Structure 1
Amino acid sequence: MRRTLSFALSALMAVSIAATATTVYAQGPGRGDQGGDDDQGAKKKKRDEEWNQPKAPLQQLRNAGPCPYVKVLYDASRYVEFKEAKESAAQAGFTGEIQSIASGCAYKGDEPIKIRIEALFQLGRGPKAEGDKHVYRYWVAVTERNQAVIAKEYFDLPVSFAAGQDRVYTRETIEQITIPRADSKVSGGNFEVLLGFDVTPEMAAFNREGKRFRVNAGQTAQAQPSQAPAGTPTKQ
């Protein structure tokens, strides 16, 4: 699916963005310590090699100056829903993480700066997720370096989970971000491009505090009664 957007800014600048989305990989729930671990391990290793290793930037052209800095905003890098606001793996609903980004740019003379970005999303379905479909939302923003946001646009990212699947990998391609320049003296170093999920204040705080856990989505955890060592009194 292709999306084309444009921003109206000050008299000196307008920014336009076009994006495409492609679902590239889906994965079912883990199988604990049962048979097939070797096969699952091999598949995971192959997946990690294909998707999780740092990727080289997109091909760079000979530019009049440096490219804008492109990064994921840490507070919005993950999306984690919790049932009844209880922060535990057993209470997780739909989840998501921007795993990696790659970018490239091109400009010369006083021409506009054109940027292309590829972002890899890992999207999950936890034990408390309702249904097999979810529409995630993320945004792309252009800012003056370490200053105010010049333009920001939101994208919907619909995902369907097949029976037994708890994770889907999706690659989003921002085909072109165009930043006009007032003159040839304005370089890409004056700007930065940020990506992030559309998160609630609670989700942002969860990310900011660096909290993490592993979600065994699709598996029902059953609490086992603990037995106190001999001679240890139990609480009534």
Structure 2
Amino acid sequence: MRRFFTYALAGLILVSAPAAMAQGRDRGADRKQQEEAAKKKSRDREWNQPEAPLPALRNAGPCPYVKVLYDAGRYIEFEGGKEAAGNVVYSGEIQGLSSGCEYKDAEPIRVSLEALFALGKGPKATSDRKTYRYWVAVTTRNSTVITKEYFDLPVRFADDRTMVTEKLEGIVIPRASMETSGSNFEVLIGFDVTPQMAEFNRDGKRFRVSAGAPKAADSN
């Protein structure tokens, strides 16, 4: 955008210059007009040169789709299985996800990703320590699971809420041929949830849990 703006501004000056000179009545009008014409000719030669080619992409094609599985994007643990804000033991949500990939020729696809976990300790928690569990799966797009691996995420709460970033590298996806692009695959991530948790997420239920909110100051 900056380069385009510079070119557009220079073009505006060139278009406006002849009109401004036509209004001038001083003796140097002809000389100024010649100078402007020379400048315009020089600029035209520069601008009309073919653009330099963009650097070649390192990838042979697009990257795999990387996303959070909706049914497993949140972890809400209730005491006794009763769905109420006051019964929350621990909670978690995958709030951010970024990724990158690299492949060329007939090489396999190498994917790296970074996930941001927002984790919470509810009113029914009995410990400041909790080990969450999540998984990463590689699938053919909207179809078969190729591989799936689980990871532990131990957390120690200094407060009722905390944020943790997980960086994952070394995800390697073999390709059948050079024509096989990353768009044929998906990389999914989610919490290891129970069927009840998955149903809770699928129904889109949410609570405004007050855990971690500042307490009101004592009026005395």
User: Would the TM-score normalized by the shorter structure come out above 0.5?
Assistant: yes
Deviation at residue 218 of structure 1 after TM alignment? 5.5
Matches within 5 A, 1:94-105: 94-105=90-101
Could you say which residue in structure 2 is the equivalent of 1:203? 197
3-state SS of 1:129 partner: coil
CA distance in 1, matches of 2:181, 2:126: 47
Could you say which residue in structure 2 is the equivalent of 1:92? 88
User: When the two structures are aligned, how many residues end up with a matched partner?
Assistant: 158
Q: Which amino acid aligns with 1:209?
A: D
CA distance in 2, matches of 1:85, 1:186: 45
Q: Deviations over 1:152-176 (max 9, x none)?
A: 00000000012xx001100000122
3-state SS of 2:198 partner: helix
Residue 188 (structure 1) aligned with residue 189 (structure 2):
no
Could you say which residue in structure 1 is the equivalent of 2:54? none
Alignment equivalent of 1:176, drawn from 159, 162, 170: 170
- Which has the larger strand fraction? 1
Residue 118 (structure 1) aligned with residue 106 (structure 2):
no
Alignment equivalent of 1:75, drawn from 71, 76, 101: 71
Alignment equivalent of 1:161, drawn from 157, 163, 173: 157
Could you say which residue in structure 2 is the equivalent of 1:143? 139
CA distance in 1, matches of 2:208, 2:122: 10
Could you say which residue in structure 2 is the equivalent of 1:129? 125
Could you say which residue in structure 2 is the equivalent of 1:109? 105
CA distance in 2, matches of 1:143, 1:95: 27
Structure 1 stretch displaced more, 125-134 or 179-188 = 179-188
The structure number with the bigger radius of gyration is 2
Q: Which amino acid aligns with 2:87?
A: Q
Gaps of 5+ in 2: 1-56, 216-220
CA contact (8 A) 2:139 2:187 kept: yes
Q: Deviations over 1:128-153 (max 9, x none)?
A: 01211000000000001111100000
CA distance in 2, matches of 1:100, 1:80: 18
- Which has the larger helix fraction? 2
Identity %: 65
Deviation at residue 186 of structure 1 after TM alignment? 1.0
Could you say which residue in structure 2 is the equivalent of 1:228? none
CA contact (8 A) 1:132 1:161 kept: yes
Q: CA RMSD in A?
A: 1.4
Higher relative contact order by CA 8 Å / sep ≥ 6: 1 or 2? Answer: 1
Gaps of 5+ in 1: 1-60, 222-236
Could you say which residue in structure 2 is the equivalent of 1:53? none
Q: Deviations over 1:9-32 (max 9, x none)?
A: xxxxxxxxxxxxxxxxxxxxxxxx
Q: Deviations over 1:105-141 (max 9, x none)?
A: 1111001101110000000000001211000000000
3-state SS of 1:97 partner: strand
> TM-score scaled by structure 1?
0.65
